[in-house]
A and B are shown apart, each in its own frame.
Chain A
Amino acid sequence: MNLLLGYYPGCALHGSSSDYESSIQACLQAFKIRLVELNGWVCCGASAAHSVNPLLSKSLSARNLAIAEREGYTELLAPCPLCSMELCKARHTILEDEEHRKQLSDIVELPLQGKTRVINVLQVFESIGQAELREHVKQPLTEVRAACYYGCLLTRPPKVVEFDDCEHPNSMEGILEALGASTVKWNFATECCGAGMTLAREETVIELSHRILANAVAHGANCIVVACPMCHVNLDMKQEETRKAHPELPQLPVYYLSDLVGLAVGLKESQLGVDKHFVPAELDLLSEPAETR
């Protein structure tokens, strides 16, 4: 499809969620989409910044938007939904509030128009389109019965991110079904996993994650698909602890959406970083009954 996209990795993808980065890079390469990392990007400040200084939060994102604008990107891919939402929020302010735009431009020391559109990973796959996805499939994901997990910020707040239906999203289902996978109807697609509360209130996060995992299992899913590094940490890395608190819960592989797209178009687990997950996630495992895993 020969496309060049501005790319904002964010700290997680350059840190403990490096597997997500390798997954996206490898997967999009297969579609001839080149990602160019934003020169001199800064952390969006995540929950810390918007929690204690909303202006700082918007300024950090505005700085990144200004850089993207300077480099001439029409679209900027931010695979982490928190970064993506923060960037969208800043852009929303820039476009709606002239006074605020001037203030932000002044703070970040760069001109700022809000020209660059911020997109998430799902939007990249949607722009590729189901037809082209289908054409690229080498290994149809017939064994996959996915619970598509959107989490909080891919669709919320709807007025800021303007993506899909915030209560009953279905864009991920469309993408996976094009790959030959089936998806399940379940109730926790947009419920929060506890996100950044992992360090401070682990027991609560484990309970929230458990509800999500258990509901996916109850509705017949054999894996969960996410598009967020935090969701992946809570559902994958912390799954062992969650299962300690709830021993009846079977192991459930947790994929990034790009993992499954990558596997379907014939990439190897190691290329995508699927082998780096905490819960074993080799595709062959999906054909076995959950109890034996």
Chain B
Amino acid sequence: MRKAGSFDKAVSALRIERCYQCGKCSAGCPMGSVMDAPPHRIMQWVGRGAIDRAVNAESIWLCVSCQTCTARCPQTVDTAGIMDEVRALAWREGVCSPAMVRTKLFLEAFLDSVRRHGRLNETELIAKYKIRGFLSDYKMALLLKDSMLAPRLIKRGKFRLFGGKSGDRDVIKRIFDKCEKVAAAEANDKTPKEAHHG
């Protein structure tokens, strides 16, 4: 059973209790038609405490954070914000729907780059993502996909082999450490939570 007191607090601050399941979020979601569980269903699961269902959904990794749901919610629920919280919880717990492993790898590679340089190094990001992705599913086609874009990007001066670096990299590492520490503490939060199915 999960202990998730701080998660409850976070989604409550984003007004999950107000969700009355009208489905307007799903109706306007650009990814709604390809999601296994559209946003309103994630909201329902979060609202009734079926968090396992929510963190295992593919759709949380398909959300593009376009904020349409939040902007149009009649009950002013911050739907996109709650999607973030569910993803963050899944991340902390290392849960991910098998079909979405590549998305997770991309995020990992992205944050890794920012942590080390303070800014994104696109070359490093793509390389790392491609290689890790390949190691996860051995799909040669995906490894080579878009590789033909590289020379064209270089030609246009849109490809910087060595990305910029921020000057205060020590501070940035400390920021990452502090935020991850808070997240880890939240993951171990001992506030009991009522039983749920999942």
Q: Do chains A and B touch in the complex (CB under 8 A)?
A: yes
5 A–B contacts, CB within 8 A, in A order: A43-B120, A51-B65, A59-B175, A60-B175, A63-B171
Per-residue interface assignment for chain B, residues 48 to 75, with 1 indicating a CB less than 8 Å from any chain A CB and 0 otherwise: 0000000000000110111110110000
A60 to B67, CA, bound (A): 20
Q: Which of A56, A153, A156, A166 contacts B175 (CB 8 A)?
A: A56
Is B194 interfacial (CB-CB < 8 Å)?
A: no
Per-residue interface assignment for chain B, residues 155 to 173, with 1 indicating a CB less than 8 Å from any chain A CB and 0 otherwise: 0111110011011100110
Residues of B within 8 A of A (CB): 10, 30-31, 34, 61-62, 64-68, 70-71, 78, 80-81, 84-85, 87-88, 91, 100, 102-103, 106-107, 110-111, 114, 118-120, 122, 129, 145, 149, 152-153, 156-160, 163-164, 166-168, 171-172, 174-176, 178-180, 182-183
Pair A54/B84 contact, Cβ less than 8 Å: yes
Chain A nearest Cβ from B161, distance in angstroms: 11
Pair A192/B68 contact, Cβ less than 8 Å: yes
Which residues 16-51 in A have Cβ within 8 Å of B in the complex? 16-19, 39-43, 45-51
Pair B106/A15 contact, Cβ less than 8 Å: no
Chain A: interface size category: 35 or more
Q: Looking at the complex, which of A114-122, A131-139, A140-148, A194-202 is the stretch in contact with chain B?
A: A194-202
A54 to B163, CA, bound (A): 25
Q: Is the interface of B mostly helix, strand, loop or mixed?
A: helix
Q: Which of B10, B66, B158 contacts A153 (CB 8 A)?
A: B66
Pair A158/B71 contact, Cβ less than 8 Å: yes
Chain B nearest Cβ from A270, distance in angstroms: 11
A234 to B157, CA, bound (A): 18
A72 to B80, CA, bound (A): 33
Is A74 interfacial (CB-CB < 8 Å)?
A: no
Q: Which of B31, B91, B159, B174 contacts A51 (CB 8 A)?
A: B91
Pair A50/B107 contact, Cβ less than 8 Å: no
